[in-house]
Amino acid sequence: MTQTDLTCDLHIIGGGPAGYTAAIYAARAGLKTVVSTPAPLSGMMAMAPAVGNWPSQVEPLPGRDILERIREQVLKYGAEIVLESVAGVNFTTDRGLQVFGGAQMHVAQAVIVATGAMNPAEKVPGEEELLGGGVAYCVACDGPLFAGEDVIVVGADEHAYEEALALSEIANSVTVTTPATKVNADERVARELELPDNVRIETGLRIQEIVGEGGVVTGARYRDRDGNERTIEGAGVFMYLRGNAPATEFLLGAVDLDEHDYIITDELMQTSLPGVFAAGDVRSKVVRQQCVAAGEGAVAALSAERFLHGGEVRSDRGQARE
Ligand X SMILES: Cc1cc2nc3c(=O)[nH]c(=O)nc-3n(C[C@H](O)[C@H](O)[C@H](O)COP(=O)(O)OP(=O)(O)OC[C@H]3O[C@@H](n4cnc5c(N)ncnc54)[C@H](O)[C@@H]3O)c2cc1C
Residue 85-114 contact track with ligand X, rule CB under 6 A, x = bound = xx---------------------------x
Q: How many CA atoms lie within 13 A of 83 on its CB side?
A: 5
**H and E: helices and strands count for the chain:** 7, 15
Q: Which stretch binds ligand X (CB under 6 A): 158-166, 188-196, 227-235, 290-298?
A: 290-298
Smallest distance from ligand X to CB 131, Å: 6
Q: Is residue 142 annotated as part of the catalytic site, yes or no? A: yes
Smallest distance from ligand X to CB 62, Å: 10
**How many chain residues are in contact with ligand X, going by CB under 6 A?**
37
Among 281, 301, 305, 307, binds ligand X (CB under 6 A): 281
Smallest distance from ligand X to CB 115, Å: 4
Smallest distance from ligand X to CB 59, Å: 13
267 or 312: CB nearest ligand X: 267
Among 116, 126, 219, 234, binds ligand X (CB under 6 A): 116
Among 9, 11, 17, 153, binds ligand X (CB under 6 A): 17
3-state secondary structure of 282: helix
38 or 78: CB nearest ligand X: 38
Q: Is 16 in the site for ligand X (CB under 6 A)?
A: yes
Between helices 63-76 and 17-28, what is the axis angle to 10°? 20
d(CA 225, CA 212): 24
3-state secondary structure of 141: helix
Q: Is 263 in the site for ligand X (CB under 6 A)?
A: no
Catalytic residue among 138, 224, 261, 291, which?
A: 138
DSSP state of 124: P
Q: Please give the residues from 31 up to 90 whose contact with ligand X meets the rule CB under 6 A.
A: 36-38, 42-45, 47-48, 51, 53, 85-86
Among 293, 298, 302, 313, binds ligand X (CB under 6 A): 293
Catalytic residue among 8, 9, 141, 281, which?
A: 141
Between helices 290-308 and 63-76, what is the axis angle to 10°? 20
Q: Is residue 150 annotated as part of the catalytic site, yes or no? A: no
Q: Is residue 141 annotated as part of the catalytic site, yes or no? A: yes
Q: Give, for 36, the enclosing helix (H) or strand (E).
A: strand 33-37
Catalytic residue among 8, 9, 142, 281, which?
A: 142
Smallest distance from ligand X to CB 214, Å: 20
DSSP letter string, 198-263: TEEEEESEEEEEEEEETTEEEEEEEEETTS-EEEEE-SEEEE-SS----S-GGGTTSS-B-TTSPB
Q: Is 115 in the site for ligand X (CB under 6 A)?
A: yes
CA distances from 12 to 23, 36, 106 (A): 7, 6, 11
Burial string for 182-205 (b: 16+ CB within 10 Å, else e) reads ebebeeebbeebeeeeebebeeeb
Q: Please give the residues from 196 up to 225 whose contact with ligand X meets the rule CB under 6 A.
A: none
> Cβ distance 124 to 221 under 8 Å?
no
Query: According to the 3-state scheme, what is the secondary structure of 161-208?
Result: HHHHHHHHCCCCEEEEEECCCCCCCCHHHHHHHHCCCCEEEEECEEEE
Residue 126-165 contact track with ligand X, rule CB under 6 A, x = bound = -----------xx--x------------------------
The residue ranges that bind ligand X (CB under 6 A) are 13-19, 36-38, 42-45, 47-48, 51, 53, 85-86, 114-116, 118, 137-138, 141, 247, 250, 280-282, 288-291, 293
